[in-house]
Amino acid sequence: MPELPEVEVSRLGISPHLQQQVITKVVARQRQLRWWIPDEVLEIQQQPILSVSRRAKYLLLELPSGSVILHLGMSGHLKVVSNSVAPAKHDHIDFVLGSGQCLRLNDTRRFGAVLWQANGSIHPLLGALGPEPLTADFTAQTLISHCAKRSAAIKLVLMDNKVVVGVGNIYANEALFKAGIAPQAPANQVSAEKLQLLTTVVKETLAAAIVQGGTTLRDFSQVDGKPGYFKQALLVYGRGGKPCFSCGEPLQEIRLGQRSTVFCQHCQR
């Protein structure tokens, strides 16, 4: 599943083409994605897109009457193309723009979502989310407070969207390695000093991934069709059994929360 940097790269890619453009028509070829596309999404004609924002891994097309919520799921990607370009297989919905272009969602597995949030309301999917990691709302004290109450593995706490949003499996692995913290360590046994460092490296790792274009996953690419480049800089994720870049010892790979977890027994305590 695309992680926060990939979603932010998509937002940055589509925003210049969408802001202040009027949606003239919505064409839904397949309404059954992860959830049924609601009628309200199909009724937003003649409304301008005021902005394109992101909350966790959700993109929001903000309109005068509310917001279209987009989620890419495991295989979804967005592209901005001319209205004259014939839809391909798995091109499920178009937001046709007055510019002669359209925003098109392609989703092979149909695990993505197109939902609606009316003005003055908060969609249930967004209501219980924690702070954004790249804002001042996510502080070391926030993480320390949550960890003090939890005996679960620190990696699982870091990936809990009620603690902080958008730190998925790839970047949790990377951040814990940089902070020298064993991913399976009980959260309430990690020192405040290490949690302060972890907060910093989470911010730095995600910011670097956004700048470098996101991490290429099996079937994700940027909005312009180019793959992300941050995969070249990954230190542990996907490298189980290979030498640690810091000490040369083989990296260990285990399962935590049913997710692949790679770490260095020597460097991470």
Q: Give the containing element (helix H, strand E) for 156.
A: helix 154-158
**Known catalytic membership, residue 3:** yes
On whether both 121 and 206 belong to a single domain, the answer is no
Q: What is the pLDDT of residue 211?
A: 87
Catalytic residue, from 2, 5, 133, 183: name it: 2
> Given 127, 158, 173, which residue is the final one in a domain?
127
On whether both 104 and 160 belong to a single domain, the answer is no
User: Other CB atoms closer than 10 Å to residue 75's CB: what's the count?
Assistant: 19
Give the domain extent around 226. Answer: 140-263
**Scanning the structure block, which residue is given the tokens 């956004």?**
210
On whether both 75 and 155 belong to a single domain, the answer is no
Is 226 part of any domain?
yes
Average pLDDT taken over every residue of the chain: 93
Is 185 part of any domain?
yes
Q: Any binding-site annotation on 150?
A: yes
Is 269 part of any domain?
no
- Of 225, 244, 222, which Cα lies nearest the Cα of 234? 244
Alpha-carbon distance 195 to 241, whole Å?
27
Catalytic residue, from 3, 6, 8, 174: name it: 3
* 72-84 tens-digit pLDDT: 998 888 999 999 9
**Known catalytic membership, residue 2:** yes
pLDDT band at 22; cut points 50, 70, 90: very high
**Known catalytic membership, residue 218:** no
Catalytic residue, from 11, 54, 55, 57: name it: 57
* Angle subtended at Cα 14 by Cα 204 and Cα 173, rounded to the nearest 5 degrees: 30
Is 66 part of any domain?
yes
For a pLDDT cut of 70, what percent of the chain falls above it? 93
Say if residues 11 and 53 touch (Cβ distance below 8 Å): yes
> Given 73, 96, 127, which residue is the final one in a domain?
127
Q: What is the pLDDT of residue 232?
A: 65
- The whole-number average pLDDT for the span 47-62 is 97
Side-chain half-sphere CA neighbours of 253 within 13 A: 12
Q: What is the pLDDT of residue 72?
A: 93
Is 149 part of any domain?
yes
On whether both 119 and 147 belong to a single domain, the answer is no
> What residues form DSSP beta bridges with 32?
36
Q: What is the pLDDT of residue 217?
A: 52
On whether both 123 and 197 belong to a single domain, the answer is no
Is 268 part of any domain?
no
pLDDT band at 8; cut points 50, 70, 90: very high
Say what the pTM is: 0.91
CATH code of residue 175: 1.10.8.50
- Report the DSSP pairing between strands 66-71 and 58-63: antiparallel
Lowest average pLDDT, out of 194-203, 222-231, 235-244, goes to 222-231
Q: Is the pLDDT of residue 223 over 80?
A: no
Q: What is the pLDDT of residue 158?
A: 98
pLDDT band at 124; cut points 50, 70, 90: very high
**Known catalytic membership, residue 259:** yes
* 246-260 tens-digit pLDDT: 999 999 999 999 999
Could you give the C-alpha distances from 107 to 4, 56, 231, 263, in angstroms and in order? 18, 19, 22, 32
Is 97 part of any domain?
yes
Structure tokens at 215: 């991490």
On whether both 98 and 55 belong to a single domain, the answer is yes
On whether both 162 and 68 belong to a single domain, the answer is no
What total of structural domains would you count in the chain? 2
Q: Any binding-site annotation on 109?
A: yes
Q: Is the pLDDT of residue 165 over 80?
A: yes
